[in-house]
Chains A and B, each alone.
Chain A
Amino acid sequence: MLNVTHLTKRYGKTLGCSDLSFDLPRESITVLLGPNGAGKSTLLKSVAGLLRYEGSITIDGKSNRDLAAKRLLGYIPEIPALYPNLTVAEHMEFIARAYRLSDYRARADALLDRFELSDKKKKFGDELSKGMQQKLNLCLGLLPSPSLILMDEPMIGLDPHAIKELKTMMEELRRDGCTLLVSTHIIDSVDMLWDRTLIMQKGNLAADVTRASLADAGETLEDLFFSVTEAEAGQEESV
């Protein structure tokens, strides 16, 4: 579903991502782990078409810059952003029109209902708390029923009910054939969900494991994360 080949992103002299290559199949949840500044958001933004980069990114065989590829993509950002002068319901309608969706009302209502925003339909974007803004951004990202969903720290700011609902929804989405790439710092929050994990360190792909391979090695995700990230830090210190 998602193919990334030799992706390199530079910010001036700083390297955001260095020669990343991987494939994500359909019906999978891939977790993107890494310390601050490892390049997780850069990778997600590059896939979302928000950054210029070297290399190639395709979604279902189409370049991620093509409008046809964008139709398949859903992006939920780390920092929620809404229009201050549109209400919750108007945001849903606006996105439906931007994506030229038809028969979306039932889905919009169901999403708002699941994230407990049904009674906030008339609230303006700037009247919602940070957590509610994040919930609405999730609803907006999921409204067009995308096949590839990028989530950048989606659980930050959410209340326990919303986190539980999001996890359930992620499993449902996978069951429905979606591909999810989820960036997070909180390993515990995704421990039961993932099929595959990519660990990034200083713009590089430091580890790429599946749940089965990790189980065979008798390791936990947390063990792997610290062994990868702290080993490199230890090597640097000894040098």
Chain B
Amino acid sequence: MNFIGYYWRHSFINQVKKLFRASILIFIVVCLIFGVVIGLGIGFLGSKLSGDDAETTESVAEDAAPPDSATIHNVIELGAGALILLFIALAVLTADKSGGSAFLGADTVLLFTAPIKPQTVLLFRLLMQTGAVIAGTFYIFFQILSLAFRSVISTGSAFALLGAWIFLLVYHKLFSVLFYTLSMTHPRFKKALRPTLYGTLLLLTGAYLLYAARNGYSSATLFGFFNAPPTRYIPFWGWLKGAALFAMEGKPLASLLSFGALLLLAVALIIMIWGLKADFYEDAAAKTAAREAALETAAGGTPAKRRKDRSESLRRDGFSHGEGATVYWHKTFYNRFRFAPLGFLTKTTVTYFLVSLVASLFLRFGLGQKNFATVALLLGGLVFFRALGNPIAGDVEQPSFFLVPDTARRKVFFSFAAGFCSSALDLLPAFLLGAILCAASPLSAILWLLLILSLDVYADGVGLCIGLALATGLSQTVRSLVQICFIYFGMIPAAGILVWGFATAHLTLSVLLVVLFHLLLGALTLFLSPRIIEKGKK
């Protein structure tokens, strides 16, 4: 295993070296420090105000009294349980892809032919990925330690939370290795995997519905079913919940026992994986070759080949709109109306709509609440994470971008404007549905809409600017991590302003300030990006 540590150490150091080649780094570091300092400062202010001025807070809250600590604890436990289930489900759903898509071209050439067990090679690559994910979520570490620092939770609880998070990521990779190895070696296992997952989820839902039919549909029933004390003894799922939550409840021994059980299970899984007869090189090599070819094609600026042919009924000619930079605007909408059913219903529109529908109905009929803020936050999260995909980069990275006879400023503007309007069109139906189902006040709805759209402007602008400023030699993973970290830290002041507004009964003002803050940062980065392009920084 000597080569694993060697690779990890050297590739990490070299990534950092490459990162330092970008002149933007100084700017990033300054902004990170700025974000951390302001974040901590506002955090202190928020916790101080929420403690000293509880009456003020109450007067602002839309839904009467704030939830008590038991409810908060229950919500945390429910969320933790759902998160763990989501990770397991993802490991199952991506079982046939996770291993195959994990490798680099060099792995197939240098390691697949080396005298190393296939499981070791797979574990090597997945461990590298886990390391990158853990490093990429260091802001979660920061947040947890910040909670301990502000005495919201004890130091022991903070470490338990960190431990649980790392165990979750490691287990996700272990399950991925196990399911992938079994799927590639035993076709019957592969066939049975997804139906087993769906069956288990159906059983769980059925059991809950039965339980709720007897006890009534309320949040208490939900907590009573999923957070029942015996659930913490369910292997892995319950142990992982228990490891963190026992510590938070002041039961360190139970927490340690849960961690011990998790450790033993991890060892057992590793031994089991080692003992399997693995045969996945052909599949993995083919997938890696296809992925590398797609990446090379993308780097060369030509569109990657689709796996499936598009429908013959699609319009295939008639794009004759715009000139110069405006072609980016027309192209986006021409494609939107051409590919989306009814010229409008993109997959994103439908996804947002379904999320809004399910969340609103669950809040209203499952929990008996009409809290529009939850739906708006969910939609905001979806818009934000979609913007992290850096949609403008698709235009900017094409070699033809440089050939279009117009200024870089106009080209970036029209590409951004088209993406922004398209994103707004995706959001609107879901947003209106949520507002109606939750009976949100018009002022509240407008404020939330402004906030989400300004967040999109901010994430688009900052993502593009940082992407352009980073050295081209960096791996895609590191590029994405830096972009995400930068966007995340840049949002800390905005979060601080919102906390301030909430604590001092100036919520409307604070939302408007945040909108202004996002728009200013978005505009600044959109102003800088064309300059970087013209400088040939990329």
Contact surface of A with B, Cβ cutoff 8 Å: 45, 48-52, 67-68, 70-71, 73, 75, 77, 79-87, 90, 93-95, 97-100, 124-127, 137, 140
Question: CA separation between A65 and B108, bound complex, in Å?
Answer: 15
Contact B115 A97 (CB under 8 A): no
Provide the residues of chain A in CB contact with B282, threshold 8 Å.
50-52
Q: Does B11 belong to the interface (CB within 8 Å)?
A: yes
Q: Is the CB of B15 within 8 A of A85?
A: yes
Q: B108-135: which have CB < 8 Å to A?
A: 108-117
A99 touches B114 (CB 8 A): yes
State whether A98 touches B116 (Cβ < 8 A).
Answer: yes
Q: In the complex, which residues of chain B have a beta carbon less than 8 angstroms from the beta carbon of A70?
A: 113-116
Taking a contact as CB atoms under 8 Å apart, the answer to whether A83 and B104 are in contact is: yes
- Minimal Cβ-Cβ distance residue in A for B121: A98
Q: Which residue of B lies closest to A93 (CB)?
A: B6
Q: List 11 A-B contacts (CB under 8 A).
A: A50-B281, A50-B282, A67-B117, A79-B105, A81-B110, A85-B15, A87-B14, A90-B10, A94-B7, A95-B110, A124-B18
What's the Cα separation between A71 and B115 when bound, in Å?
Answer: 5
**Residues from chain B with Cβ under 8 Å of A99 in the complex:** 114-115
With A71-B115, A94-B6, A97-B6 as given contacts, are A84 and B110 in contact (CB-CB < 8 Å)? no
**Distance in angstroms between the alpha carbons of A48 and B282 in the assembled complex:** 11
Residues of chain A contacted by B14 (CB below 8 angstroms): 85-87, 90, 124
Docked complex Cα distance between A68 and B117 (Å): 11
B39-55 toward A: CB 8 Å interface, digit per residue (1/0)? 00000000000000000
A51 / chain B contacts, CB cutoff of 8 Å: 281-282, 285
Asked if residues A85 and B111 are in contact (CB atoms below 8 Å), the reply is: no
- Alpha-carbon gap, A186 to B113, bound state (A): 26
The size of the chain B interface, using a CB distance under 8 A, is 29
Residues of chain B contacted by A79 (CB below 8 angstroms): 105
Task: Apart from A90-B6, A124-B473, list 13 A-B contacts with CB within 8 A.
Answer: A48-B112, A49-B281, A51-B282, A70-B113, A71-B115, A75-B109, A81-B109, A83-B104, A85-B11, A85-B18, A86-B11, A97-B2, A124-B18
Residue from the list A48, A73, A81, A87 in contact with B104, Cβ < 8 A: A81
A residues near B105, Cβ cutoff 8 Å: 79, 81
B117 contacts across to A, CB distance below 8 A: 67
Residue on B with the closest CB to A96?
Answer: B3
Most chain B beta-carbon neighbours within 10 Å: one of A52, A68, A84: A84
B311 to chain A, nearest CB (A): 25
A84 touches B281 (CB 8 A): no
Task: Chain B residues near A126: list those with CB within 8 A.
Answer: 473
The answer to whether B71 has its CB under 8 Å from any CB of chain A is: no
For the complex of A and B, list the 5 residue pairs with the smallest distance between their C-beta atoms, beginning with the closest.
A81-B105, A97-B3, A70-B115, A85-B11, A98-B3
Residues of B within 8 A of A71 (CB): 115
CB distance A98 to B114 under 8 Å? yes
Query: Contact check: which of A50, A87, A125 meets B113 at CB < 8 Å?
Result: A50
Chain B residue at smallest Cβ distance from A146: B113
Closest beta carbon of chain A to B387's beta carbon, Å? 27
Q: Are A98 and B10 in contact, with the CB atoms below 8 A? A: no
Kindly state the separation between the CA atoms of A118 and B14 in the bound complex, as whole angstroms. Answer: 20
On B, residues with C-beta under 8 Å from A are: 2-3, 6-7, 10-11, 14-15, 18, 104-106, 108-117, 279, 281-282, 285, 292, 473, 475
CA distance A126 to B3 in the complex (A): 20
Closest residue of chain A to B292 (Cβ to Cβ) is A81
CA distance A67 to B475 in the complex (A): 31
Q: If the complex has contacts A67-B117, A84-B475, A125-B106, are A50 and B285 also in contact, measured as CB distance less than 8 A? A: yes
Give the CA-CA distance A85 to B16 in the complex, in Å. Answer: 10
Instruction: Report the minimum CB–CB distance from B7 to chain A (whole Å).
Output: 6
> In the complex, what distance in Å separates the CA atom of A97 from the CA atom of B104?
18
For B115, the chain A residues whose CB sits under 8 A away are 67-68, 70-71, 99
Tell me the nearest residue of chain A to B112, going by C-beta.
A50
A99 to B104 Cα, complex, angstroms = 19
Q: Bound complex: CA of A49 vs CA of B108, how far in Å? A: 11
Residues of A within 8 A of B114 (CB): 70, 95, 98-99
C-alpha spacing A67/B115, complex, angstroms: 5
Bound complex: CA of A26 vs CA of B101, how far in Å?
Answer: 38
Nearest residue in B to A79 (C-beta to C-beta)? B105
Q: Which one of B105, B114, B475 has the highest number of Cβ atoms from chain A below 10 Å of its Cβ? A: B114
Query: Is A83's CB under 8 angstroms from B106's CB?
Result: yes
B-side contacts of A80, CB under 8 Å: 109
Which B residue's beta carbon lies closest to that of A69? Answer: B115
Bound-state CA distance A79–B105 (Å) is 10
Contact of B109 with A86 in the complex, beta carbons under 8 Å? no
**Distance, CA A51 to CA B115, complexed state (A):** 16
Which residue on B lies nearest to A75, using beta carbons? B113
Considering only CB atoms, which chain B residue lies closest to A100 in the complex?
A: B2
Contact A94 B104 (CB under 8 A): no
A51 to chain B, nearest CB (A): 5
Complex CA gap A168/B69 in Å reads: 78
Give Cα A90 to B11, complex, Å: 9
* Chain A residues in 8 Å Cβ range of B15: 85
**How far, in angstroms, from A140 to B116 measured CA to CA in the complex?**
16
CA A85 to CA B279, docked complex, whole Å: 28
Q: A84, B113: Cβ atoms under 8 Å?
A: no
By beta carbon, the residue of chain A nearest B16 is A85
CB distance from A136 to the nearest CB of B (A): 10
In the assembled complex, which residues on chain A have CB atoms less than 8 Å from the CB atom of B109? 75, 77, 80-81, 137
**Which A residues lie within 8 Å of B473 (CB)?**
84, 124, 126-127
Cα A77 to Cα B107 with chains together (Å): 12
Chain B residues in 8 Å Cβ range of A84: 473, 475
How many Å lie between the Cα of A54 and that of B352 in the bound state?
49
